[in-house]
Amino acid sequence: MSKSDGVIAARAGQIYTKGNGEFALACEKASTAGAVSQRACVFCGSRVVLYPVTDAVHVVHGPVGCAAFTWDIRGAMSSGLELHRNSFSTDLRENEIIHGGEPRLEEALRHLIAKFNPKAAFVYATCIVGVIGDDVGAIAKKVTRDTGVPVIPVHSEGFRGTKKDGYRAACEALETLIGTGDTSDISPLSINILGEFNLAGEAWMIQDYYRRMGIEVVSVMTGDGRVDDIRRSHGAALNVVQCSGSMTSLAKDMERDYGIPFLRVSYFGIEDVSQALYDVADFFANEDVKRGAEKVVREELLELMPRMAPYREKLQGKSAAIYVGGAFKAFSLIKALRTIGMRVALVGSQTGNSEDYKLLEQMCDPGTVIVDDSNPVELSRFIIEKDVDLFIGGVKERPMAYKLGVAFCDHNHERKIALAGFEGMKNFAEEVYRSVCSPVWQFAPRRAGRGIPASGLHIQAEA
């Protein structure tokens, strides 16, 4: 492959079409220079993980642009305080770049702690802080000592690596809180939910399933997160990890430090959310919990299945492209799309590892393109080549889809519709249907003449 067909030669090893020779896909490497990767920086990786901790202040130590870039970056909902929705910045300028930004950081922290009385303060180091060498740790220690509020440095200088390194820095920041709370009243049937960020209230839905099974949720990291819950999370019997790319390192560290085992699950799609509840029930080997899981799944499916049939009928045989942050979500999306009759022509992720991609290759149909750390030129090329009906991605993929005249479903952190759990599957089918069967595509130049289903607009009334 060469630049002329939309693929930079250095990227060829990160693209594979199922059926074209033996499976091999390079991954977990720095992005190719000049390829305009869809990945965000290390700082952004930390920010998306820690952002939903609602009773902490989040201080971005750097130029104001870093804070603006990540302001309110997730649709993470709170049942109480909303401190997390602010984007505090030390707004470093020329003077601080020359003379150092430590005094400004200290002043900002003292001011914010006095004003908001937060349970903790996270300080994110950005690129320029790494360059000028501010000692964020020393300032954090000094302010913690003086105010009694834990100030936690997040070592997230943007250039330090990939977004995945930002996840790791966020987990290390959380680890400074874990183990500092009282665990005496925690049930033996208890879990922490890791890698669930309460987008559109999803963490509340998931917690409700577990409560109906008789399981105590000690903490959610980090959706609708509370510092005091995180402090006592080492008292839970099990860690249940959803967004494995962001939180597996924390789960492994908690297993090492506190002996808490962990399970990898997904709450997207009927198969995976049911399996998640059954797996957790199996872990506790408790008959009441097992019966509880069966009851939750039965009740939810009885409600859901009749509502799915009309969408499946309209979407049968359509094709989709998936490009998401973590590969684990891609597995669930392939299954969820099959549930509504759709097939996948392209699938990729920003941060998948070799195990993830092996599994992805097994799940895909022959001819499916699998990509690691892709870019707009490649994705556009494959979308046109495969003539897909739907693109599933995040905020950076949305304009690409619309410009190409392709329906889009936002499955990333900006979305405002719950897509997890049983109710989320119904929302997903509805969202996909509304976009794929919208009459607007008949006006897109590339689509003109292909036609759309004439009955496409009436499902909402029928469902």
Distance of alpha carbon 250 from alpha carbon 239, whole angstroms = 10
Within 249-308, which residues bind ligand SF4 (CB under 6 A)?
A: none
- Closer to ligand SF4 by CB, 164 or 232: give it: 164
By beta carbon distance, the residue nearest ligand SF4 is 158
- Closer to ligand SF4 by CB, 158 or 223: give it: 158
**One of 120, 127, 221, 390 touching ligand SF4 (CB under 6 A):** 127
Question: Which runs of consecutive H residues, i.e. helices, occur in 51-135?
Answer: 64-69, 94-99, 102-116, 127-132
> Total number of residues binding ligand SF4 (CB under 6 A)?
9
Distance of alpha carbon 276 from alpha carbon 282, whole angstroms = 10
Select the span of 40-48, 268-276, 289-297, 314-322 touching ligand SF4 (CB under 6 A). Answer: 40-48
**One of 66, 213, 237, 333 touching ligand SF4 (CB under 6 A):** 66
Least CB distance to ligand SF4 at residue 397 (A): 19
**One of 16, 51, 69, 88 touching ligand SF4 (CB under 6 A):** 69
Listed residue (415, 424, 380, 378) closest to 400, CA to CA: 380
Least CB distance to ligand SF4 at residue 41 (A): 3
Question: Which runs of consecutive H residues, i.e. helices, occur in 316-444?
Answer: 327-339, 354-363, 376-386, 398-403, 421-436
Select the span of 39-47, 71-79, 107-115, 418-426 touching ligand SF4 (CB under 6 A). Answer: 39-47
Q: Does 43 bind ligand SF4 (CB under 6 A)?
A: yes
Within 148-167, which residues bind ligand SF4 (CB under 6 A)?
A: 158
- Closer to ligand SF4 by CB, 127 or 436: give it: 127
- Closer to ligand SF4 by CB, 129 or 139: give it: 129
Least CB distance to ligand SF4 at residue 62 (A): 6
Select the span of 37-45, 138-146, 370-378, 445-453 touching ligand SF4 (CB under 6 A). Answer: 37-45
Least CB distance to ligand SF4 at residue 222 (A): 20
Exposed / middle / buried, residue 89 (Cβ in 10 Å: 0-12, 13-18, 19+): buried
Tell me the torsion sign for CA atoms 431, 435, 437, 439. positive
Distance of alpha carbon 33 from alpha carbon 324, whole angstroms = 21
Distance of alpha carbon 173 from alpha carbon 304, whole angstroms = 39
- Closer to ligand SF4 by CB, 92 or 194: give it: 92
- Closer to ligand SF4 by CB, 38 or 190: give it: 38
Least CB distance to ligand SF4 at residue 43 (A): 4
Least CB distance to ligand SF4 at residue 278 (A): 40
Select the span of 41-49, 95-103, 115-123, 284-292 touching ligand SF4 (CB under 6 A). Answer: 41-49
Distance of alpha carbon 355 from alpha carbon 327, whole angstroms = 10
Least CB distance to ligand SF4 at residue 158 (A): 3
Q: Does 51 bind ligand SF4 (CB under 6 A)?
A: no
Distance of alpha carbon 59 from alpha carbon 108, whole angstroms = 8
- Side by side, the strands of the sheet bearing 216-222 are 216-222, 190-196, 238-241, 262-264
Residue 72 identity (one-letter amino acid): D
Least CB distance to ligand SF4 at residue 64 (A): 10
> Which residues are within 8 A (CB) of 171 and not within 5 positions of it... i.e. 6 or more apart?
49, 246, 247, 249, 250, 253
Least CB distance to ligand SF4 at residue 224 (A): 26
* Letter string b/e over residues 3-30, b meaning 16 or more CB atoms within 10 A of that residue's CB: eeebbbeebeebbbebeeeeeebebeee
Least CB distance to ligand SF4 at residue 34 (A): 16
Q: Does 62 bind ligand SF4 (CB under 6 A)?
A: yes
Select the span of 62-70, 94-102, 313-321, 427-435 touching ligand SF4 (CB under 6 A). Answer: 62-70
- In DSSP notation, 203-244 reads HHHHHHHHHHTT-EEEEEEETTB-HHHHHTGGG-SEEEESSH
- Closer to ligand SF4 by CB, 36 or 359: give it: 36
> Which residues are within 8 A (CB) of 260 and not within 5 positions of it... i.e. 6 or more apart?
192, 234, 236, 237, 238, 239, 251, 254
**One of 7, 8, 15, 41 touching ligand SF4 (CB under 6 A):** 41
Least CB distance to ligand SF4 at residue 288 (A): 48
Interface ranges with ligand SF4 (CB under 6 A): 41, 43-44, 62, 66, 69, 126-127, 158
